[in-house]
Amino acid sequence: MSANKKEAPIVDAAVRFDNLPARGRALEVKSTPEQRARMTERLNIESVEAFSAHLDLLPIRGGIQVKGYLDAEITQLCVVTFVPVHQNIHEEMQRIFLHGDESGEVAAPGVEVFVDLEGDDLPDYFGGQEVDFTDFLMEHLALAIDPYPRAPDAALPDMAAEAPEESTSPFASLKHLKSTRD
């Protein structure tokens, strides 16, 4: 593989911005075993058993509004016992993608776009006529994964130490040096 060759996206989630109908369209993403193996490697987990997504794409002035959800089944190791822990994920997603760059300049003159700055997410930007939603999907999947998975019966051993007796304290021998003039 050449160093200049761009790596293929993990899933096929690209659409042409200039061919998007005015009423929008739905995009269904289904994964293959090879794609799930690449997701497993990218997310650094044990396995991705299933992954699918449904996105509703609606053109807005100067961009695309995306709403949808993803469903996944993953396995990762318990942080206590290191046994495999299964997790079902259903994540709802929403984002606005604007044509142009992050500087706020848009490609077409006279384009008006309302952006709610107090909202949760700022818009993403894309250049050219094709928008690839693969990173958007992988971001939502990664954020939905439990960062500290635990098996149902996993428990940490009781690490609470009993308070040492006064005679065994390392400071017990220094007690006689304390001045009584206070």
Q: Please report the pLDDT score of residue 3 as a whole number.
A: 47
pLDDT tens-place values along the chain, 182 residues long? 444 456 778 898 989 888 889 999 999 999 999 999 999 999 999 999 999 999 999 999 888 999 999 999 999 999 999 999 999 999 999 999 988 866 545 446 666 766 666 666 677 888 888 889 999 999 999 999 999 999 988 887 766 655 555 556 777 777 777 766 65
Question: How many CB atoms lie under 10 A from the CB of residue 180?
Answer: 4
| Residue that the structure tokens 């990173």 belong to | 135
Q: What's the whole-model pTM score?
A: 0.72
Contact assessment for residue 72 and residue 89, using Cβ atoms and an 8 Å cutoff:
yes
Phi, psi of 165 (to 5 degrees): -65, 160
In this structure, what DSSP letter does residue 140 have? H
Distance CA 2, CA 47 (A): 28
Instruction: Name the burial class of residue 98, with classes exposed (0-12), middle (13-18) and buried (19+) by CB atoms within 10 angstroms of its CB.
Output: buried
Q: Which of 27, 124, 131 is nearest to 113 (CA)?
A: 124
At residue 144, the 3 state secondary structure works out as helix
Residue 5: the pLDDT is 52
